[in-house]
Amino acid sequence: MKKLPLPATDDRQKTTANSNNDLLGETSYPYLKNELQDILNGYVDYDANNGNAFNVAPVNITDALADGLKKNYKSPPKDLKFINDLRESSPIVCPMCGSLGTGTLDHLFPKEDYPEFAVYSKNLVPACDCNIKRRTNLKDGNRRVLHPYYDNVLSQRLISCDISQDPAFPMAKIKIKYAQPNLPEIDSIKFHAEKVILPSGLIGWLEGQWDSLVKDPSLSIHTLPDENIASVAEFERYLNSALSKYDRKFETPNNWYSIFFHGLLNSRGVVNFLYTKHNLIYP
Ligand SMILES: [Zn+2]
């Protein structure tokens, strides 16, 4: 998860130009020309409601236009080339789930249900294949998917993990944990985690990280020195330094490495366990 700046695309100008492109007779012309004002009003409403799925009103468009806009998305005509640029603008961390994959564009309001926003830049979020795994989940009751262009709460640390200490260490059990359970947006944060982050494979990835870590902590925690560490407190400072570096490197505390390191620091018994492990390797 990552807060992104709004795309700089002038959607009004681009969509208006596209509506006048009479070479698009097989796709959006003349439907977009006939229904242009409805589409532009929909864009204004989407932006005025900050992409909040509870408040943005669906736009009633003809099936012919719905079909035409989806085809425009699939094969962008000259006025909509910004779609390819947005896809290629992928940041190094997925704004939707926090993994290190990117390369696709996610329709935050799914184009199957909201074809009116199929080519609207503010509805197109660079993402990894969590995009496909989310399917058409957008909202349910008082819960909704968070929007990387609008939801400022994404700049805060929202997701952590709990690594449970049991007698079978190092076979740990790992669960997602919410870093700030009292935020007003907590129901939507949980919905976003259930529909976007967990289907993307966070838990399996964390388990893989843990498996490598317990073999030799200094190979995974790059801030650790290859020598004996005098105290648990000092060891914990190295872990905090690693967490802070991941937060800065990916410009979001909700990338998967930060989720892992925050979990290491906040799960009972884990810092002690790793400290002991490290000093066994470097006596
Ligand atoms: Zn993703």
- Give the tens place of pLDDT for each residue, 226-280: 999 999 999 999 999 999 999 999 999 999 999 999 999 999 999 999 999 999 9
- Compute, in angstroms, the gap from residue 33 CA to the centroid of ligand 1: 35
Q: Tell me: do 129 and 190 sit in the same domain.
A: no
Ligand 1 geometric centre to CA of 89 (Å): 15
- The answer to which of 19-23, 159-163, 171-175, 278-282 has the lowest mean pLDDT is 171-175
Tally of domains within the chain: 2
* Shared domain check, 172 and 87: no
**Do 132 and 162 share a structural domain?**
no
pLDDT score, position 171: 75
Going from the Cα of 196 to the center of ligand 1, the distance in angstroms, rounded, reads 7
> How far is Cα 94 from Cα 154, in angstroms, rounded to an integer?
12
Are 99 and 221 members of one domain?
no
CA 156 to ligand 1 centroid distance, Å: 18
Which string of DSSP letters, residue by residue, matches 106-168? EESS-TTT-GGGTT-GGGEEEE-THHHHTTT--EETTEE---TTT-GGGGS--EEEEEE--TT
pTM beyond 0.85, yes or no: yes
Q: How far is the CA of 145 from the centre of ligand 1 (A)?
A: 13
**Are 66 and 105 part of one and the same domain?**
yes
Judge if 165 and 267 occupy the same domain.
yes
Residue with tokens 């995009």: 131
Same structural domain, 56 and 166: no
The parent domain of residue 109 ranges over 11-152
On whether both 215 and 95 belong to a single domain, the answer is: no
Q: What is the pLDDT of residues 187-207, one digit of tens each?
A: 999 999 999 999 999 999 999
- Are 214 and 236 contained in the same domain? yes
